[in-house]
Amino acid sequence: MSHSASVRPTRRRLLAGATAAAAATTLHAPFVRAQPAKLKVGLMLPSTGTFAALGSAITNGFRMAVEERGGKLAGREIEYFAVDDESNPAKAPENTNRLVQRDKVDVLIGTVHSGVALGMAKIARETGTLLLIPNAGADDVTGPMCAPNVFRTSFSNWQPVHPIGKVMAERGHKTAVWISWKYAAGDESFRSFKEGFEKAGGKVVKELGLPFPNVEFQPLLSEIASLRPDAVACFFAGAGAAKFISDYAAAGLRDKIPLYGSGFLTDGVLQAVQQQAQGLMTTLHYADALPIQRDREFRLAYAKAFKLQPDVYAVQGYDTGLLLAQAMDAVKGDFGNKQALIKAMEGAKIDSPRGTWTMSKAHNPIQDIYLRRVEGESNKYVSVAWKALADPARGCRMG
Ligand code: BEZ
């Protein structure tokens, strides 16, 4: 026997050693149980660009829901995979496939931008991957593209802005100009706003738009000044919304033509534009100072964990965690039991900081929409603008 042969273990010796080691483990540690495999969670959110802060708040909220359960869902640890989608619809297929095909995630969570979400939903439908949408409102996702494995925990673009038209008409505004980015979220918000405002007796005199994520508002603000409508309504969010509020005030329009919108206009931006935003009224499925104990507790815990005040995006991320946790509990951690998992999500009642909400047949929240007014750094709760508002889910054949 050569020296090297005597020290190098043969395959047989290795196997014998492994068997002996396994036997010893069994003998000396009879109570050690096999750990269930980690649940692979893919977070596809923006961490750069105009929606970067929104992606970060969603991540915080989701992780907080998991941490409240000791970092596990139904006893299974979580392994996170993250991709910055840059709010770029052109990169959506490639980015989604990095998580679905390369990382083989069990569940895909994303995203903020409607155009990117449409790309994700297409791949989720083709591959059967569970997709939970924590923001993007693209109506089609829970409309003609609705699918058993696609759920939204936020809103449809139709929902948050729908009640503001009635509020504006009640405040005596007869004509309005609409302004937003020209992509699914802006276009769908416009259609919903027009529907609500004109049903309440108002007239939209002009729809203005610019490509996402441009913030060259000046020519459009000059056009608003010359049109002189009773009011302006809009959809903007994130850093672009802060710039719009600031430019609207700088153009001298703030005290002449009241500005309204879906609450994305003022959520998460008030530290930057507090003064210029005072008094703005918006509608959204969340507000500051809601008369809800669950919300008070959530806000304290979030502020303690992240040294930040939560906003609607944080709540949506948190609720995504709550939905997944409820469904995982229902199947006792057996993620492979897809039918039961989906059934649990369909029947979920989410005890959310925004108020309790349920899942519609098209897999979109049925929820209260609040009227809010900016006071100081808060989007202060004023009233319930619409109780238990369900998206019409036009074109969805489920349920
Ligand atoms: C959207 O693209 O659907 C969206 C983005 C930011 C806030 C709200 C909606």
To test the pocket of ligand 1, the residue of 45, 88, 113 to mutate (highest count of ligand atoms within 8 Å of its CB) is 113
Mean pLDDT across the stretch 121-125? Answer: 98
Within 13 Å and on the Cβ side, how many CA atoms surround 79?
A: 10
Give the whole-angstrom CA distance, residue 193 versus residue 262.
9
Mean pLDDT across the stretch 360-381? Answer: 98
pLDDT value for 336: 95
Mean pLDDT across the stretch 295-316? Answer: 98
Q: Would you say residue 3 has pLDDT above 70?
A: no
Going by CA atoms, what residue is nearest to atom 5 of ligand 1? 113
Q: Would you say residue 28 has pLDDT above 60?
A: no
Q: Would you say residue 22 has pLDDT above 50?
A: no
DSSP 274-330: HHHHTT-EEEES--BT-S-HHHHHHHHHHHHHHSS---HHHHHHHHHHHHHHHHHHH
pLDDT digits (tens, 9 = 90+) for 46-57: 999 999 999 999
Give the whole-angstrom CA distance, residue 143 versus residue 378.
33
Which secondary-structure segment (H or E) carries 384? strand 378-389
pLDDT value for 7: 32
pLDDT value for 212: 98
pLDDT digits (tens, 9 = 90+) for 224-242: 999 999 999 999 999 999 9
> What residue type is assigned to position 88 of the chain?
N
Q: Which two tokens stand for residue 82?
A: 């993250």
pLDDT value for 218: 98
**Nearest one of 39, 142, 68 to 351, comparing CA atoms:** 68
Q: Considering the chain, what percentage of its residues have pLDDT values greater than 70?
A: 92
The ligand 1 atom at the shortest distance from the C-alpha of residue 115 is 2
Q: Would you say residue 194 has pLDDT above 70?
A: yes
DSSP-derived pairing of the beta strands 231-235 and 203-210:
unpaired
Q: What's the pTM?
A: 0.92
pLDDT value for 34: 73
Ligand 1 pocket check for 237: Cβ under 6 Å: yes
pLDDT-based confidence at residue 36 (cuts at 50, 70, 90): confident
Give the whole-angstrom CA distance, residue 80 versus residue 121.
20
Q: Considering the chain, what percentage of its residues have pLDDT values greater than 90?
A: 91
Alpha helices for the chain (secondary structure H): 3-7, 11-28, 52-67, 92-97, 114-127, 158-161, 164-170, 184-199, 218-227, 238-250, 270-277, 293-306, 312-330, 338-346
Lowest mean pLDDT among 19-33, 87-101, 226-240, 351-365: 19-33
When comparing pLDDT for 27 and 345, which is higher? 345
pLDDT-based confidence at residue 25 (cuts at 50, 70, 90): very low
Going by CA atoms, what residue is nearest to atom 7 of ligand 1? 237
